[in-house]
Structure 1
């Protein structure tokens, strides 16, 4: 997609790279929005993949999107590993072509499949690089990018990237400035929920979470009879039907929620994976949560939730322990303890950060102006 000529302000033209899941796309869009607020004529070009959420969300937000071939990093010897050099060269060239067309002055990467070729193309072109790492334990792409970035930003203190600045997570303003109490009636109406019931928001992120989905699907009747209403965001293609229940608490199933700020405003507690973006959004809006870290990967989800759980703003639930028994024996009684939930909400809010977008934008401006 083509865009207008680079803006005349200090930023000029910015390329942002990241995609695949909401964990990468949401902070990318939050930064883009912040840069546009600062300099309305800034040109922003996003690099992403055809398959990722960015293919839909970035153009819908009003930003140009250029596609870069997806290059997964094989973790063991395979045919994909043999194809890696050629695949990476093609991806780097696609990123390079996009940067040339955009006349990019700075590249900001958020990790994920497209960030490694973006970093390597920017290095080849001599363009300043800013890296933002969302998780407490960095991914491979950002480990690579941080080696030659001019500025490195991290969400959580203690993230092991040399010379990093703690900025927190860039959050969309709809979430960073959310007043849950003021928006609750609107939120309940939006999702077809009712004011008299306590509300659980269940989400496994944009891709869904099988364990969470299965446990709650098996507990629909238990929750409705107990007087607990549920907004269940299953992930695309993973939604299921729930029968009508006259006089019972609603159980609303949606595959994806574009208006997550309204989902948060409707909720009294959230059951979710502890991806970095989820943790940061929930603490920013002061929502208690039961965090269920992904049991595979490098363990970053457990680390992401460590601070808020330590502060008393959330519970940590092992994936194997997220069962119908836990829902009935722990979650339902918690929903009946309004004072306890209020204390958890206060604790969650105490570790929330609202200005990550502005702090990261400061680093981008420093990179453009040559400040270290």
Structure 2
């Protein structure tokens, strides 16, 4: 059921719209929201985009860095099992919705765009019946917040076909222009110099999401000697809360551990192959830049990360390894031969071309502006 749009829909107004994006917690929720925000500003340079978030999420760092205002609201985490916290949930929801509604009124929101997670749920409930809602779901198996929001959203956008939400329109995942326009070959020398990597060695990029992944950290660092002996350089983001001690091998390509990758575009440009989780955002970015991947799906949840990896695996652009099977010996057996096989790497990279939706950011931005009753004033 759609909610009414403020004002007349027959003639889209030309006054500057205010777009509120709700996608906090992890980079997987925040980055699509910010990619959408950037696209909105390209299409309506006079628009205002305000992000909702909580004080404990990555949005407190990522949103201000991208130049957007951030309004903090109380989080509404959803317990997975019956706990005393579950009994306090209705009160928490009510308080968060009340504060979110006040934010929407303060910024004069014309549309609320949710990307799932514990920031989206209070945003949907606060906007219901008052402000148009657009839902974006990145995974084939939608989360609770988006299942709720889709019931009364004006438009529902999804990343992949077959997502079980009412009125779903397949648009893909909004990605940063620095990713969708990335020329890896042109930036390679600069990228490797930036990270202190060998300029000529086959190079492996390793990361486990914004917070790191213990299995990936242990397996890859445990295979440092095999990687060095094969002449492979490594750029490994281990997560800001983790440490990683890696043996150095003089005369061999460097194994470079970093807590967090501020410049993912340069990280992708530096690499020949990546070992990573297969969150929806990561899988979309890796395919968009044509980077062969060894995906290690997160072994918890409803299996969505394995589903995310499947299109690239089926296309021949990626391999998949179960988390429980990723060991130093598996890295030596599977990853080292891959990253050192230039012909195979080139074939896998070519297979990634055409996967995904490179224009998803602007497609979604047009949907959002239409829901707000706003015209597009720039097509740059």
Aligned match for 1:352, one of 329, 336, 356: 356
Q: Deviations over 1:198-229 (max 9, x none)?
A: 01111111011111111112112221122111
Aligned match for 1:216, one of 210, 213, 220: 220
Aligned match for 2:178, one of 155, 174, 179: 174
Which runs of 5 or more structure 2 residues have no equivalent in the other structure?
1-12, 376-380
Cα distance between partner residues in 2 of 1:317 and 1:228: 20
1:37 aligns with 2:42: yes
- What does residue range 216-365 of structure 1 map to in structure 2 within 5 Å? 216-365=220-369
- What does residue range 12-161 of structure 1 map to in structure 2 within 5 Å? 12-124=17-129, 126-161=130-165
Cα distance between partner residues in 2 of 1:311 and 1:351: 8
Q: Is the 8 A contact 2:16 2:46 kept in 1?
A: no
Q: CA deviation at 1:245?
A: 2.9
1:199 aligns with 2:206: no
Q: Is the 8 A contact 1:11 1:105 kept in 2?
A: no
Q: Which residue of 1 aligns with 2:370?
A: 366
Q: CA deviation at 1:11?
A: 5.3
Matched residue of 1:280: which SS?
helix
Q: Deviations over 1:114-156 (max 9, x none)?
A: 10000000004x2100000011211111111111100000111
Q: CA deviation at 1:27?
A: 0.5
Q: CA deviation at 1:23?
A: 0.3
Which runs of 5 or more structure 1 residues have no equivalent in the other structure?
1-7
Q: CA deviation at 1:353?
A: 2.2
Q: Is the 8 A contact 2:218 2:328 kept in 1?
A: no
Moved more, 256-265 or 231-240: 231-240
Matched residue of 1:257: which SS?
coil
Q: CA deviation at 1:239?
A: 3.0
Cα distance between partner residues in 2 of 1:245 and 1:370: 59
Cα distance between partner residues in 2 of 1:353 and 1:181: 21
Q: Is the 8 A contact 1:10 1:365 kept in 2?
A: no
Cα distance between partner residues in 2 of 1:76 and 1:326: 34
Cα distance between partner residues in 1 of 2:16 and 2:234: 44
Cα distance between partner residues in 2 of 1:26 and 1:137: 19
Matched residue of 1:81: which SS?
helix
Cα distance between partner residues in 2 of 1:275 and 1:252: 23
Q: Deviations over 1:61-86 (max 9, x none)?
A: 11110111111111222111011011
Q: Which residue of 1 aligns with 2:9?
A: none
Matched residue of 1:350: which SS?
coil
Cα distance between partner residues in 1 of 2:374 and 2:306: 36
Give the aligned length.
363
Q: Normalized against structure 1, the TM-score is what?
A: 0.95
Cα distance between partner residues in 1 of 2:80 and 2:334: 38
Cα distance between partner residues in 1 of 2:152 and 2:219: 44
Residue 170 and residue 85 in structure 1: after superposition, are their counterparts in 2 closer, same or farther (change >3 A)? same
Residue 10 and residue 164 in structure 1: after superposition, are their counterparts in 2 closer, same or farther (change >3 A)? farther
Pick 1 or 2: higher relative contact order, CA cutoff 8 A, min separation 6: 2
Matched residue of 1:369: which SS?
coil
Q: CA deviation at 1:370?
A: 8.9
Q: Which residue of 2 aligns with 1:3?
A: none
